[in-house]
Chains A and B, each alone.
Chain A
Amino acid sequence: MTAVLQILFDALSLGSLYALGALGIALIFGVMRLVNFAHGDYISFSIFALLWPTTAATTILFLGQVPPAVLIPFVILIGAGVSVLSEILVFRRLRDANPATLMIASFALGFVIKNLLLMLYSSRPKSLSILPGLAQQVEIGGARIPLLQVVTVAATIVILIALTAFLKRTRFGLEMRAAAQDFTMARMLGVRANRVILLAFAISGMLAGAIGLAIVVQTGTADINMGLSVMLVAFIATVIGGLGSLYGAVVAGFLIGGASVLMQVILPLDARPFRDAFVYALVIVVLLWRPQGLFAPRTAKQRV
């Protein structure tokens, strides 16, 4: 029983990161039909904003020094900021470009952000300790669970509930859902394209900031490639969930998280290093079975 609980929290906390990442990508895809490959670099950016820029091996906390009540909103705002800036400076100018051009632009933007960070901080991973209180363990049903996992899962649940309420209960949320289905029709009803898209980028960036924070607390290091590995899985989750389906992205994120952790447990020891190969094989099977994804929207239209 305690082992099961431990596995469950491992799966849920890993799945949380994937789900929030996939959600960030799906939100942008919904209104822009853009798969934003720079999303992982928003995560890196949020993480490195905690550090004072230096290429030396030493780590000097920058924003990381402030108390949690300030730190957490700050990281989230940094994520939102870089995401919103990229819309205003890059994507807005390419609004009428075809999807391939947009995608390439997002690649390029990702490279620019990454290299900017490399210039400022070098490629050396840096160790840092943020919110050290979360390292302790708590006892749940007899199992000893890292407090960080509990907090990650709880925070994800809160984020998902808040986002659902925003989408379902507010006018902006309604406009966003309408725009994701048929942007042109929404605009013909007076929905302001720029505002909806900016809002989607802001929320997506906030999610990136939250992921960055969770990763850095968990690993205790700032590594330029950290955002990337989470995002790779998150991209896959958005496709498995059905591109354009927010619900699907979240479910698929948790499913992949669950599958990874489960593989780690049930695979024979010799096969464990190849866990990811098994997970991706599973992904291929799912896509062969349902190429449109598990929860493909019935009526997603091309953006015009």
Chain B
Amino acid sequence: MTLLAVEGLSVRYGQLTALRDASLMLDEGETLFVTGPNGAGKSTLMKAIAGVVRPAAGCIRLGGRDITGEAPETIARLGFSMVPEGRQVFGELTVDENLRLGAGMRGDRAGAARDLESVFESFPMLKERRDGAAGLLSGGQQQMLVIARALMTRPRLVAIDEPSLGLAPLVIDQVYELLLRLRAERRLTLLVVEQSSTRATMTGGRMMLLRSGRVVLEGDARELNASGAVERAYFGYSDAEEPA
């Protein structure tokens, strides 16, 4: 079943068109990587889906419902959980408060409490520092925290914008290990943004590539990479003009 459908989405910031006629489909349980160079419009696409920026044109449907132009809190309450670029922990709140904020919109207190315990089971490090300020965690720990916080909302779809940004390679591995484990355990639907296609190829699955606000490539990550199409698209060569 299609969980997320984006059709002909365009976003402008004043004169600049950051996203042009972008479309994507995401089935329940599926993982889609959105890749592309810096400034391609990846974050803009995520923000538009999350309701943080208003699209100039196009339509976004979540679980069959039109959410175009809805408020971020409405979209979150419909099951779209966003982990924005740069982590965005509430640095002055405690780890515990960050997590409880994620559970705030849920009616079931008991379920939320159980989820909190299971988060602490999976992340003993977060439990140790649950009463400390979240801003004092390391970058990798903060990334774990925001993913855990996103899951506390019991989302139907988790979107993560550049989870590896600014992290050491070893820590990136841990973050992805966690993501893939959670995906398996909870049959999560994932939308992951990364600049490079390396992770998409390692993980496998569907991938799309944005450049200058347009979707220039879409398909199976491994096949696209093996054919060299990703590299060509990434650097903007059309198939006709190979680099010298």
A187 touches B90 (CB 8 A): no
Which residues in chain B, 140-155, are within 8 Å of chain A measured between CB atoms? 149, 153
A178 within 8 A of B: yes
- Complex Cα spacing A192 to B90, Å: 17
Given A188-B72, A193-B71, check contact A298 B91 (CB 8 Å): yes
Residues from chain B with Cβ under 8 Å of A193 in the complex: 71, 73
B91 touches A185 (CB 8 A): no
Smallest beta-carbon distance A259→chain B, Å = 28
| Nearest A-chain residue to B100, judged by Cβ | A174
A220 within 8 A of B: no
- Complex Cα spacing A213 to B44, Å: 50
Residues from chain B with Cβ under 8 Å of A192 in the complex: 73
A189 within 8 A of B: yes
Binary per-residue interface labels of chain A (175-205) against chain B in the complex, 1 for a CB within 8 Å, 0 otherwise: 1011001101111111111000000000000
- Complex Cα spacing A191 to B93, Å: 15
B135 touches A304 (CB 8 A): no
- Complex Cα spacing A233 to B105, Å: 39
Given A174-B100, A188-B50, check contact A181 B76 (CB 8 Å): no
A178 touches B90 (CB 8 A): yes
A190 touches B93 (CB 8 A): no
B84 within 8 A of A: yes
Residues from chain A with Cβ under 8 Å of B92 in the complex: 177, 181, 297-299
B30 within 8 A of A: no
| Nearest B-chain residue to A297, judged by Cβ | B92
B135 touches A174 (CB 8 A): no
- Complex Cα spacing A191 to B72, Å: 9
Cβ-neighbour of A178 out of B50, B93, B105 (below 8 A): B93
| Nearest B-chain residue to A184, judged by Cβ | B52
A189 touches B149 (CB 8 A): yes
Smallest beta-carbon distance B135→chain A, Å = 7
Given A187-B71, A188-B76, A192-B73, check contact A181 B91 (CB 8 Å): yes
B84 touches A188 (CB 8 A): yes
B93 touches A174 (CB 8 A): yes
User: What DSSP secondary structure best describes chain B's contact surface?
Assistant: mixed
Residues from chain B with Cβ under 8 Å of A177 in the complex: 90, 92-93, 97
Binary per-residue interface labels of chain A (65-101) against chain B in the complex, 1 for a CB within 8 Å, 0 otherwise: 0000000000000000000000000000000000000
B76 touches A187 (CB 8 A): yes
| Nearest B-chain residue to A300, judged by Cβ | B92
Which residues in chain A, 156-190, are within 8 Å of chain B measured between CB atoms? 171, 174-175, 177-178, 181-182, 184-190
A186 touches B84 (CB 8 A): no
Cβ-neighbour of A186 out of B50, B81, B91, B101 (below 8 A): B101
- Complex Cα spacing A222 to B81, Å: 52
- Complex Cα spacing A174 to B76, Å: 18
B181 within 8 A of A: no
Q: Indicate the size class of the contact surface on chain A.
A: 20 to 34
Cβ-neighbour of A189 out of B91, B135, B153 (below 8 A): B153
Which residues in chain B, 169-193, are within 8 Å of chain A measured between CB atoms? none
Binary per-residue interface labels of chain B (120-153) against chain A in the complex, 1 for a CB within 8 Å, 0 otherwise: 0000000000000001000000000000010001
- Complex Cα spacing A181 to B135, Å: 12
- Complex Cα spacing A170 to B105, Å: 14
- Complex Cα spacing A297 to B52, Å: 24
A189 touches B71 (CB 8 A): no
A190 touches B73 (CB 8 A): yes
Cβ-neighbour of B77 out of A185, A190, A298 (below 8 A): A190
Residues from chain B with Cβ under 8 Å of A304 in the complex: 52
Residues from chain B with Cβ under 8 Å of A299 in the complex: 90-92, 135
- Complex Cα spacing A297 to B135, Å: 12
B82 within 8 A of A: yes
| Nearest B-chain residue to A245, judged by Cβ | B92
B104 within 8 A of A: yes
B41 within 8 A of A: no
| Nearest B-chain residue to A186, judged by Cβ | B101
Smallest beta-carbon distance B46→chain A, Å = 10
Residues from chain A with Cβ under 8 Å of B135 in the complex: 298-299
Cβ-neighbour of B104 out of A174, A182, A184, A185 (below 8 A): A174
Residues from chain B with Cβ under 8 Å of A189 in the complex: 76, 81, 101-102, 104-105, 149, 153
| Nearest B-chain residue to A192, judged by Cβ | B73
- Complex Cα spacing A184 to B50, Å: 10
A188 touches B82 (CB 8 A): yes
A-B contact sample (18 more), CB < 8 A, given A188-B52, A191-B73, A298-B92? A171-B100, A174-B101, A177-B97, A184-B52, A185-B84, A185-B88, A186-B101, A187-B71, A187-B76, A188-B50, A188-B73, A188-B82, A189-B105, A190-B76, A191-B104, A191-B105, A299-B91, A304-B52
Q: Can you report 20 A-B residue pairs in the complex whose CB atoms are below 8 A from each other? A: A174-B100, A174-B104, A175-B101, A175-B104, A181-B91, A181-B92, A184-B52, A185-B84, A187-B52, A187-B72, A187-B73, A188-B82, A189-B76, A189-B81, A189-B149, A190-B104, A190-B153, A193-B73, A299-B135, A304-B52
Closest 4 CB pairs of A and B: A190-B105, A187-B72, A190-B76, A299-B91
